Amino acid sequence: MIGLTAVRQTLDFGELMREHRAMVFSVAWHFLHDRDLAEETAQDVFLSLHTHLAGIETPAHAGFWLRKVAVQRSIDAARKRRRRPQVALEDVAELSVRPVSGDPMLGGMLRRLIATLPEMPRMAMILRYQEDLDPAEIAETMGIPLGTVKSHIQRSLALLREKLERRGVGER
């Protein structure tokens, strides 16, 4: 009986990993902009899932739990790292949200500008515009008040607009 339970948990773990690996990697990569560190962070998230698998109640709970841990571990990894290497977008695989076709130069500029934001506003922007979460989901994932999420997003958008206008993009 004990062996059967362990096998069932392994099967569930494999299914959860296959279903959510793109999302976990996407959160880490968009925040860290370092493929190796994002992969290491994703592995750490799934190792944590494996050790906490007994506490996961439903597939929806697993998705929420994985996103929340991915956010926390990405912020932790960024705090440990002092340098910011640049990674070409072509080198990144399996983004959970497919990029919309548009101006690649503008997209690259926006990614660089978002990378300059402080940790919490940057993660709020990534979860909103890369992972397509609504502010309430972001607040729950990051463990901060909804008003703080809205404030981070609003201030970040204003700052990004200002920086783009200084570069001559979006002038009217």
Q: How far is CA 145 from CA 137, 140, 152, in A?
A: 11, 8, 11
Domains of the chain by range and CATH? 1-96 (1.10.1740), 100-172 (1.10.10.10)
pLDDT of residue 82: 58
93 phi and psi angles, rounded to 5 deg: -115, 155
Query: Is the Cβ–Cβ distance between 27 and 71 less than 8 Å?
Result: yes
List strand residue ranges (DSSP E) for the chain, in order.
Answer: none
Query: What integer is the mean pLDDT of 1-29?
Result: 74
Query: Is the Cβ–Cβ distance between 33 and 115 less than 8 Å?
Result: yes
Question: How many Cβ atoms sit within 10 Å of the Cβ of residue 171?
Answer: 8
Q: Is the pLDDT of residue 11 over 70?
A: no
pLDDT level of residue 35 (50, 70, 90 thresholds): very high
- Number of H helices and E strands in the chain, helices first, is 7, 0
Q: What is residue 143's DSSP assignment?
A: T
Q: Is the pLDDT of residue 3 over 50?
A: no
Strand, helix or coil at 134?
Answer: coil
Q: Is the pLDDT of residue 121 over 90?
A: yes
Closest CA to 120 of 85, 155, 92, 89: 155
Burial 19-40 (b: 16+ CB within 10 A, else e): ebbebbbbbbbbbbbbbebbee
Closest CA to 35 of 90, 80, 81, 91: 91
Query: Is the Cβ–Cβ distance between 70 and 21 less than 8 Å?
Result: no
Strand, helix or coil at 1?
Answer: coil
Query: What integer is the mean pLDDT of 116-142?
Result: 92
